[in-house]
Structure 1
Amino acid sequence: MSFGDKNVRKGVRAFADGKEYAAQAGTGALLNPRVDTTFKAMLTRNTSEAKAALKSFLEAATERKIAKWELRPNDLPVSFVGQRGVSCDISCEFDDGLAADIEMQAFNQEYDYGKRAEYQVSRLEATYLKRGESWEKAPVVYQISILNFIYDFKGGAKSDEEKRPSPVSRFAMMRTKDGKCLSNTLNIVFVELPKVYGLEESLDTNTALENWAIFLKDADNPDKKDIIDKLTCKEKGLMEAQKSLSSVSTDMDLWWAEYRQEIYERDRISSIEAATKKGLAKGYEEGLSKGIAEGLSKGMKEGIKEKAISLAKKYMSMGHSAKEAAEFAEIDESLLL
């Protein structure tokens, strides 16, 4: 299986080596659009299909009509020495001041994507306004993350939208008391691809971005060909995306990139699992040793205590008071009452 997905084309384990895996470039098989190198190639190559697909995706993600745009460098400039850099899969700037960063994340790297997205959208905003310009010139910016896993949102009751699992979640700064938006300048969009299941039956009523999520999740899955065909016949932007994906899937270098990324991820997961097992085994061994030692110590203390009580009771049977017996045996008087 590839990248944790079910019922998709054969993954790396079905091939002898990377060379055999990359040979799929000439077979008509499709690359995995959830791999960042493929995702970027599908939307940014200098072809009419890629340009149309990118325009369609951006309009779906931002819910705005886009006349034209310009791709810009992926690495945002730093403001001071040592500032953490930000690199995105696709960074766009529009003629009306709107800006967007699009990022594909195939694997859960075990860090807080919420904070990461907030940091990225803030850095994106900070790159535009020049010294002396009015705040009104600050552009609207979007940070768009396509996640091939379900993100665990922190805190708060589930909204009606969350109770109806949608792959799309939109965030903006707002007043916590009543949800009134501040300025809609900073916008974050999460697309969680595993949540598309069930949306295949409502292609006509899904949002444009929900249908894009279905495409990204299953475009390379032969078992989902009928659904993808329905989508691409219904929406021109997705048809162009499919054409672009087919085109880049003839590139052997991209197949090698996909192979290396999957091998890297499998190695990473294996390392985590091995470290976890080692940690559990060590913890069990240390806990067992500690438990035995504590048990012996406790047992010895209980034995000494019982012996002292027995001795004190014998002392009482000789006519001494409980207080005198407790003092004699060096125990608490309450143990004799």
Structure 2
Amino acid sequence: MSNYIRFDWAMKRLLRNKANFAVLEGFLTTLLRDRIKIQKLLESESNQEEEFDKYNRVDLLAEDSKGTLLLIEIQNNNEYAYFQRMLFGTSKLVTEYINRGEGYDKVRKVYSINIVYFSLGHGKDIVYHGKTEFRGIHQNDILELSPFQRQTFKVDTVSQLYPEYYILKVNDFNQVAQTPLEEWIYYLNTGEIPDQAQAPGLNAARERLKLDRMSKDELKAYYRHLDNIVILRDNINTERAEGRAEGRAEGRAEGRAEGRAEGRAEGLEAGRQEERRQNAIRMKAKGFPTQDIADITGLSPEEIDRL
């Protein structure tokens, strides 16, 4: 079990603190291959507190020292129109962060960074980068900036003026981390930071995202968040299995709906109970008092003693 807090929870509760910017800066520096210094965090739509959004989606909007906008979004649930959602998010930022009457030269550069815990699209890689280029339909050449535009906007290509997109499909990463970016993806996927990992920001994460730094109330909320993630993924897997089963057995099984509902409830409760047990084992190994573990996980002291 991991000794560190999941990145989505950290983004919602911890990384918004300026003292913890080094974690985010390291992640962004590794991904964008450019030294990123966060100037401030800005308001975004992520401050919703509906029960579903609490664990399904987290986003964070930052501004770096150059005025670039960085929208980081984590999505736990499958969303078939997610590509359009990315487009909507960047378009909204472009229009919101320009003052009325300002010229188009004031349009801000936006990076949209999407960490998805579901199968998005069809591809073999784990990190995808999208940018805008204009290519000739006859000569197949790329439209370039004039020398004056390069000097005025301080960029080399047209694509640098447009929003850029990054998609990290972290669930698909199942290999040994060999690069700094892979070290980050390993942490995003597993919540673990290997001792040998040296990617920018991970040393700060080791210090500031440890579970044993959390209070009892924070741990209780965090483990409830993990429970919700288990339920969410069980729901997704159950719905997929049901869809396949219904396709094979359509129109033949009376009472199937009732049995399916009962099976789903049993499966969700079993997954939730196992997650509680694993959390209790982890806390027990760290020397937490039995009663504190019981209060946080909901297990009885007798159950905890048997672990």
> How would you bin the TM-score normalised by the shorter chain?
0.5 to 0.7
| 1:94 CA displacement | 2.6
Tell me, yes or no, if the aligned pair for 2:58 and 2:75 is still in contact at 8 Å.
Answer: no
Amino acid at match of 1:190: I
TM-superposition CA deviations, 1:16-63 (whole Å, max 9, x none): xxxxxxxxxxxx844433xx33443353245x3x22101111222333
Counterparts of 1:197 and 1:269 in 2: how far apart (Å)? 20
Tell me, yes or no, if the aligned pair for 2:181 and 2:199 is still in contact at 8 Å.
Answer: no
| 1:150 CA displacement | 4.1
Which residue of structure 2 lines up, in the alignment, with residue 189 of structure 1? 166
Question: Which blocks of at least 5 consecutive residues in structure 2 are unaligned?
Answer: 47-56, 143-156, 254-307
What is the correspondence of 1:1-337 to structure 2 with a 5 Å cutoff?
9=1, 29-33=3-7, 36-46=8-18, 48=19, 50-75=20-45, 89-107=59-77, 109-153=78-122, 166-177=125-136, 178=140, 180=142, 182-184=158-160, 185-200=162-177, 202=178, 206=179, 208-220=180-192, 228-231=194-197, 234-247=198-211, 250=214, 251-252=218-219, 253-274=221-242, 276-282=244-250
Runs of 4+ in 1 over 4 A off after TM superposition: 176-179
Report the CA distance shift for 1:197/1:270 in structure 2 as closer, same or farther (over 3 A). closer
Equivalent position SS for 1:93 = strand
Counterparts of 1:143 and 1:211 in 2: how far apart (Å)? 21
| 1:267 CA displacement | 3.2
TM-score by structure 1 length?
A: 0.57
Tell me, yes or no, if the aligned pair for 1:105 and 1:148 is still in contact at 8 Å.
Answer: yes
Equivalent position SS for 2:196 = helix
Amino acid at match of 2:158: L
Counterparts of 1:188 and 1:249 in 2: how far apart (Å)? 34
Counterparts of 2:159 and 2:212 in 1: how far apart (Å)? 39
Tell me, yes or no, if the aligned pair for 1:62 and 1:142 is still in contact at 8 Å.
Answer: no
* Greater C-alpha Rg: 1
Report the CA distance shift for 1:56/1:261 in structure 2 as closer, same or farther (over 3 A). same
Amino acid at match of 2:6: N
Tell me, yes or no, if the aligned pair for 2:11 and 2:58 is still in contact at 8 Å.
Answer: no
| 1:211 CA displacement | 2.9
Identity across aligned pairs (percent)? Answer: 21
Amino acid at match of 2:195: D
Question: Which blocks of at least 5 consecutive residues in structure 1 are unaligned?
Answer: 1-8, 10-27, 77-86, 154-161, 286-337
Between the two proteins, the alignment pairs up a number of residues equal to 222
| 1:186 CA displacement | 0.8
Q: What CA RMSD, in Å, does the superposition of the two structures yield over aligned residues?
A: 3.1
Report the CA distance shift for 1:279/1:148 in structure 2 as closer, same or farther (over 3 A). same
Counterparts of 1:179 and 1:230 in 2: how far apart (Å)? 44
| 1:247 CA displacement | 4.6
Amino acid at match of 1:211: E
Instruction: Say which structure, 1 or 2, has more relative contact order (CA 8 Å, 6+ apart).
Output: 1
Which residue of structure 2 lines up, in the alignment, with residue 289 of structure 1? none
TM-score by structure 2 length?
A: 0.62
Counterparts of 2:120 and 2:5 in 1: how far apart (Å)? 24
